[in-house]
A = this chain, B = another copy of it.
């Protein structure tokens, strides 16, 4: 089946390409598979009111993906939900890990201090909601693509997991291209309705938010709402809107609140109920059941004292936070490393069910700390030697992507970094995905070539920390899988993310290998 990969996708004739692009451009805009254009594409001068939109960066074809790898990633979803809800609930376990980081990471320090302050005052809400995305790449265990191929985890996101809206749509787009005969008939045995799973991420993520809303409502006598805390401006707004509209359709009032207006437009009443007071309706207040963060995840968003005050204000409120500060901290790469360090005992502790632990463990690539532990000293040897470093990637512990150091450039980079800052990074064995080609369409420009795919599986989890927040005992009332994301980027670029570089949203075409 490696031949499927090398022969895919087929070359298109000029008329085939024109037809496919016309179908793609019209379908995407008709269905909100769109982003606001970058100012470098449509300038502020041309569109000062920001009424234009553009087809989101997408692939022309769904990318190939071994069915066994997709099934493996899906099968791990609920165990991952369990795992991270358990970690976020266990402050005693988290404390030493976070304390090791806060000396070198002011952002984590700020978040941790919020937790400490709220814990001292007493948390007002025991319900916790996670909308997670676990990201994987295909790893050729044997060096070539065969039945031994697995997925290996790239990272686990506990805050602002994006593209759930556009992911549902891009799968529907590829189905439309298939149904409208935009794909050559030679493809039909590979690309057909049986090989192209749709992602139910819009419905799935909205359902997770609705679960928390209804659970909160049981404790309240007022009618309440869900608040999406967002960046402003936000080019990826339609991705978020699709989830909001789905929530609204299900009867859950939902509003967007820019991150920098949190303190202005919300307040706490006597029992720390969070009230949303929109200035557009003076005198009207909505009780906030759930705060869904699509902002507030990056250090750059905390450059003012007010930002920290705003985060603290939300954290101490009685609203369900998606995520809480503790859940955000549980998503640090340091936790991923601690779990995935070879022979780590932690996974079995959090997942006493052996089948759960095994399926999660099967997705780990070896990860090492860069501290002075035994594993850390071993990693320092591997990372500073160009002979061994070429098999690794160096990643910062922080969330939000960016600044990964790859392979041969690691030793040089570490030379420039004071040694006391090394523990802010982890060393991870590179995942070796199969070579594959596709065409990415972005701002009207096509680029064909080698690509790399990253599969994200969305999970939603609602639980109650029955003895109090962080005390360890919890009751999970909802644990669901919520669709997938396939992100595809040029294989030559070193950094992921559709918003930067030549990245795109994609969908799956499953193949048997």
Contact = CB atoms under 8 A, between A and B. Distances in A.
Pairs A-B, 6 closest by C-beta atoms = A49-B444, A30-B32, A51-B444, A29-B53, A16-B280, A19-B280
Nearest to A234: B26
Interface string A276-310: 00111100100000000000000000000000000
A280 B443 contact: no
A185 B281 CA distance: 8
A53 B27 contact: no
A396 to B, nearest CB: 33
A50 to B, nearest CB: 7
B13 A280 contact: yes
A192 B139 CA distance: 55
A242 interface: yes
Contacts of A182: 280
B29 A34 contact: yes
Indicate the member of A48, A49, A50, A52 with the most B CB atoms within 10 Å.
A52
A39 to B, nearest CB: 12
A500 interface: no
Contacts of A281: 16, 181, 184-185
Contact of A42 (B13, B52, B242): B52
A52 B51 contact: no
Contacts of A47: 41-42, 444
A280 B176 CA distance: 16
Contacts of A241: 26-27, 30
Given A18-B280, A29-B32, 4 more contacts: A16-B281, A21-B49, A26-B238, A30-B34
A1 to B, nearest CB: 27
Given A179-B248, A185-B281, A280-B15, A25 B51 contact: yes
Interface size class of A (residues with CB under 8 A): 35 or more
Given A15-B280, A26-B241, A52 B50 contact: no
Interface string A177-221: 001111011000000000000000000000000000000000000
A245 interface: yes
Contacts of A29: 29, 32, 34, 53, 238
Interface string A43-80: 10011111111110000000000000000000000000
A31 B32 contact: yes
A37 interface: yes
A351 interface: no
A46 to B, nearest CB: 6
A248 B180 contact: yes
B15 A34 contact: no
Interface string A1-45: 000000000000101101101000111011110100100011100
A46 B39 CA distance: 11
A414 to B, nearest CB: 43
A19 B280 CA distance: 7
A498 interface: no
Contacts of A185: 281, 284
Contacts of A46: 41-43, 46
Nearest to A249: B179
A184 B279 CA distance: 12
Interface in A118-149: none
Contacts of A13: 280
B30 A245 contact: yes
A19 B51 contact: no
A50 B444 contact: yes
Contacts of A255: 180
Given A37-B52, A46-B46, A52-B37, A278 B26 contact: no
A58 to B, nearest CB: 11
A338 interface: no
A91 interface: no
A227 to B, nearest CB: 13
A445 interface: yes
Contacts of A248: 176, 179-180
A443 B31 contact: no
A513 interface: no
A237 interface: yes
B26 A445 contact: no
A46 B31 CA distance: 23
Nearest to A245: B30
B444 A48 contact: yes
Interface in A367-399: none
Nearest to A446: B49
Contacts of A242: 30
14 contacts: A26-B241, A29-B32, A30-B245, A42-B47, A47-B444, A51-B55, A52-B52, A52-B53, A53-B54, A176-B248, A179-B248, A180-B248, A180-B255, A182-B280
